[in-house]
Structure 1
Amino acid sequence: GTSLRTVQKPTARTLDDQKMPLRFPTVPNSMRHFLASACSGAAGVTCLAPVEILRLSFMSKGETFKGAVASLGAPHMWFRGNKADTLSTALKVGITMPAFALYKNVITTVSGVPEDAPTPRWAVFLAGALAGCTATCLCYPLDVVRMRIALDTMPAARGSIVSCLANIGKKEGIRALYFGLPATIAGIIPFSSMKLATYDMLRRRLTEGVDAESISISLAQSAQIGAIAGIVAATSCFPFEVVRRRQMGGELTSLSVIGAMAAIVNDEGLRALFKGVSINVFKVALSNSLGFALYENFKDVLQVDNRKPPWKRASIAPMHSFD
């Protein structure tokens, strides 16, 4: 039979109780994990704000590349809505990654998987889906504000994010802050599960499954597997993303996810469900590549899961390649 390498998995309580050797002796591991995730999300989305603006124009306004570039004009317009985007992404990633680790631990424990055995693939997929749903439901109103600002459908709402939320709630009702949520959940279940599970399994392959979360990998390795995970998830889930963006912008809000897809196909043809897929896959691949590289680096710096910080680590041990 196939033997499994014994892996001693520290529990969340054990990690929180451990004192880190350098600069973070009193900060719980879970808080450091949240900070590492949130910082990587905020930094990554700011770097890619111009690509996101172009992607939204393709998907929601149906503009050509030349037309989208011309309509944006001044340089600052390429970062329109970035404040809301940064806050939303920081919170979403800050919730998703710790939740993913927590759900994996809980599912593994509840299902009776031995502690010295790797987490089953089905549990990794389920944990990814649950983590994505949790973060999406908690952060969705911020996504709506970001979408409205980015598409310039809230020209009068130039105040704070809170004032934008209040403006939508007052004029359209609280329900408007959740337009498109069913489509988002329907899309986030396969997207989040495939993205996180792909990354988790590729990362485990690199580290040979040995206490994987406490072992650092190089920036190049994390960027590579992050891009692969993003491409797999983005390509398969794109029609849900189109419906979500349309409904968040106020279109097709009375229809179900399937009904909205049918309406788009009936009015614009099947190709409309995949309009902008190329730039979307490029953006998601780039975003995940950058995001996971930053995430791994911030986890090293904040010594999450008892990792050694970069300034105390001579080099990263050689690991398996994908060849």
Structure 2
Amino acid sequence: MSGGVAQLKDEGSQRQVAVAGAAAGLVSRFVIAPLDVVKIRLQLQVHSLSDPLSVRDVHGPVYKGTLGTLKHILRAEGLTGLWKGNIPAEALYLAYGSAQFSAYTYISHLLDALPPPYHLPSAVNSFLGGAAAGACATTATYPLDLLRTRFAAQGPDRVYASILASLRHIAEHEGPTGFFRGLGAGVSQIVPYMGLFFAGYEGLKPILASSVIPMPFGTSDAAAGIIASVLSKTAVYPLDTTRKRLQVQGPTRQKYVHRNIPLYSGVTSTLSHIWKNEGRRGLYRGLTVSLLKAAPASAVTMWTYERAMGFMLAMEKGAGEE
């Protein structure tokens, strides 16, 4: 690798990309798991903290901010409460990371191969490749995302005894479509998010790598990932909140830690309901912790990906020279 400035789509084989992407997903998930649980709990909280009357009849916790939520979970559920849903989440990040990077490189190569006059600028290729890869990976791994949300939403009283029990219950009481509740919001969110993220990352990486102030240990990759992720995450955050609200719909809706989650039916109506009843703050509830989560997650993801890819390429080169 030439100082980490080569584009992702030009590095390694499909197998190497898949392995590096999977490794990046696993490591980043381990790092940000507690923040993910805090974020989900805040997104599912529908009462307004500025209106005392709205919490008067609430049967369940009332979370106040990132640190307050973290302390509340530790006090009420112990340290393991911060890793609820971690098993399906690890499987999700493993599968998602592999599918995302594999789809991105494959689609980017297809776009690069377009003949004139259909050849697109590099920035457009990065956006389209990232958007399409995000949509493919989101759809393929969505049931794991739904399970992650439902387990993270469980309070001291467990809704599902195990992952196997949750699979059986959803299949029996909600059918196959139950595993894909909120998929529309997920795809609507991930397409612009991943498109903006990859376009921003590919554009920022060479700039930061060649900056006047050198960044040690490949941290230019991490910095590019942080900036691209924060900007992209903020732009599409209301759809993320919508996805979480839709994922806990169904027969177990009133059994989670928040007992008063409303009944929602679709992406547009959910957005409208949140805006009408909770205002703009409702749509962006948990954004602070989401950005705190997005920064280290993206930094660790891209840093791990680049290091894993560099290691495999070095091993391949060393084997070829023997």
Q: Confirm or deny a common fold (TM above 0.5).
A: yes
**Offset at 1:204?**
4.0
C-alpha distance after superposition, 1:156-179 (max 9, x if no partner): 5333x4443232111222111111
**Offset at 1:108?**
1.8
1-side partners of 2:149 and 2:313: how far apart? 35
The two structures, once aligned, show a CA RMSD in angstroms of: 3.0
- Contact residue 300 and residue 307 of structure 1 kept, 8 A: no
2-side partners of 1:113 and 1:221: how far apart? 34
- Contact residue 143 and residue 179 of structure 2 kept, 8 A: yes
User: Aligned residue for 1:86?
Assistant: 90
User: Aligned residue for 1:282?
Assistant: 292
**Offset at 1:303?**
1.7
- The equivalences for 1:265-276 within 5 A come to 265-276=275-286
Identity among equivalent pairs (%): 21
Name structure 2 gaps, 5 residues minimum: 1-5, 47-62, 211-215, 250-260
User: Aligned residue for 2:218?
Assistant: 219
**Offset at 1:269?**
1.6
- Contact residue 35 and residue 290 of structure 2 kept, 8 A: no
C-alpha distance after superposition, 1:68-115 (max 9, x if no partner): 52134311211111111111011101110121111111012125479x
C-alpha distance after superposition, 1:171-228 (max 9, x if no partner): 22211111100011111111110111111122244568xxxxxxxx943111111101
The correspondence for 2:172, drawn from 170, 176, 181, is 170
For the residue of structure 1 that corresponds to 2:44, the secondary structure is: helix
2-side partners of 1:292 and 1:131: how far apart? 16
- 49-58 or 199-208, which moves further after superposition? 199-208
2-side partners of 1:207 and 1:99: how far apart? 25
The correspondence for 2:103, drawn from 99, 104, 112, is 99
Give TM-score, length-normalised by structure 2: 0.77
- The equivalences for 1:195-234 within 5 A come to 195-205=197-207, 218-234=217-233
The correspondence for 2:158, drawn from 147, 155, 160, is 155
- The equivalences for 1:299-318 within 5 A come to 299-303=309-313
- Return the letter of the residue paired with 2:147: V
C-alpha distance after superposition, 1:141-162 (max 9, x if no partner): 0101111111117925333x44
Give TM-score, length-normalised by structure 1: 0.77
For the residue of structure 2 that corresponds to 1:121, the secondary structure is: helix
- Return the letter of the residue paired with 2:98: G
1-side partners of 2:317 and 2:36: how far apart? 34
User: Aligned residue for 1:264?
Assistant: 274
For the residue of structure 1 that corresponds to 2:154, the secondary structure is: coil
2-side partners of 1:302 and 1:255: how far apart? 46
For the residue of structure 2 that corresponds to 1:61, the secondary structure is: coil
For the residue of structure 1 that corresponds to 2:135, the secondary structure is: helix
- Contact residue 126 and residue 199 of structure 2 kept, 8 A: yes
2-side partners of 1:254 and 1:56: how far apart? 17
Q: Report 1 or 2 for greater relative contact order, CA contacts < 8 Å, sequence distance ≥ 6.
A: 2
User: Aligned residue for 2:72?
Assistant: 70
- Contact residue 111 and residue 120 of structure 2 kept, 8 A: no
- Contact residue 234 and residue 287 of structure 2 kept, 8 A: yes
Name structure 1 gaps, 5 residues minimum: 1-7, 17-28, 209-216, 313-323
User: Aligned residue for 2:147?
Assistant: 145
1-side partners of 2:194 and 2:80: how far apart? 31
- Contact residue 104 and residue 119 of structure 1 kept, 8 A: no
